[in-house]
């Protein structure tokens, strides 16, 4: 979710990038009481791909309570494949070539407070181009809403991501009723499933609360959905997995 202000005339973009991860690439403290930063954490390493997103296309309507949750989609020209961990970066610096024009401002905000007050997998890049882990060193206490759309053509459905596995919706494409299956590797909290249009409008939402480890199935009635692409998103323990499906008529 974003808040923005545009004062420039002409082109202005944010740059969305994907990096692979490597050990000792991010700075952090060694404990909450140690204020000295050291290069001791996994962090973004090699730039794999990047794409611009027009400043005018960034959706901020999620701040209006009368409007359902929305999001902004960054589409890469080709699939990005890798066999290691990865990081997604949103660059809103005016110094970036092809980036935000001088005078425009953008802030990325959270969907809710992070209950553990730590973000071991979220990073901030500062003026000296160092990556810092956004837990006790930076003191960020929120869940930042950036996530990839996983494609089953490239991602095996047998894999767990942060303790959660989300299978391909079946059948896909679908005309009416479809099945969504997911698995939890361990007992999980705040489990929920949502479906969004390509523009981020919420089409379905169900909250399951706490669930034990195991396999689960949900029947989705998409008979009233307009033809087009949709995202289905599973949340558990603060982790998010999102995949895409198509409705035909």
Judge whether 225 and 217 are in contact, CB under 8 Å. no
Same domain? For 121 and 224 the reply is no
Are residues 183 and 125 part of one domain? no
What is the number of structural domains in the chain? 2
Give the residue numbers spanning the domain of 42: 2-144
The predicted model scores a pTM of 0.70
Model confidence pLDDT, tens digit, residues 192-242 = 999 988 877 889 999 999 999 999 999 999 999 999 999 998 988 877 888
Query: What is the domain-level CATH number for residue 164?
Result: 2.60.40.3080
239 DSSP β-pair partners:
236
SS3 state of residue 104: coil
Ramachandran sector of residue 66 (left: φ over 0; alpha: ψ -120 to 50; beta: rest): alpha
End of a domain among 144, 172, 197? 144
Each residue's pLDDT tens digit, 40-86? 889 999 999 999 999 888 877 654 444 445 677 888 888 787 777 88
Which of 113, 144, 175 is at the close of a domain? 144
């Amino acid at each position: 979710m974003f808040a923005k202000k545009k004062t420039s005339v002409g082109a202005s973009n944010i740059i969305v990038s994907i990096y692979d991860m490597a050990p000792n690439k991010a700075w952090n403290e060694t404990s909450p009481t140690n204020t000295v930063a050291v290069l001791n954490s996994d962090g973004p390493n090699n730039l794999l791909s990047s794409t611009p997103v027009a400043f005018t296309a960034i959706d901020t309507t999620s701040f209006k309570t009368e409007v359902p949750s929305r999001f902004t989609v960054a589409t890469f020209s080709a699939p990005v494949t890798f066999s290691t961990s990865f990081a997604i970066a949103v660059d809103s610096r005016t110094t970036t070539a092809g980036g935000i024009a001088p005078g425009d401002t953008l802030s990325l905000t959270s969907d809710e407070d992070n209950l553990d007050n730590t973000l071991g997998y979220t990073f901030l890049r500062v003026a000296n181009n160092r990556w810092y882990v956004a837990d006790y060193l930076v003191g960020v206490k929120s869940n930042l809403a950036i996530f990839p759309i996983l494609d089953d053509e490239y991602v095996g459905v047998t894999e767990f991501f942060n303790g959660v596995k989300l299978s391909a919706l079946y059948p896909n494409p679908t005309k009416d009723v479809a099945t969504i299956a997911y698995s939890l590797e361990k007992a999980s909290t705040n489990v929920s499933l949502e479906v969004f249009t390509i523009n981020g409008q919420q089409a379905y939402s169900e909250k399951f609360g706490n669930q034990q480890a195991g396999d689960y199935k949900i029947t989705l009635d998409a008979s009233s959905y307009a033809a087009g692409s949709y995202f289905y998103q599973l949340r558990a323990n603060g982790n998010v997995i999102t995949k895409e499906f198509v409705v035909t008529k």
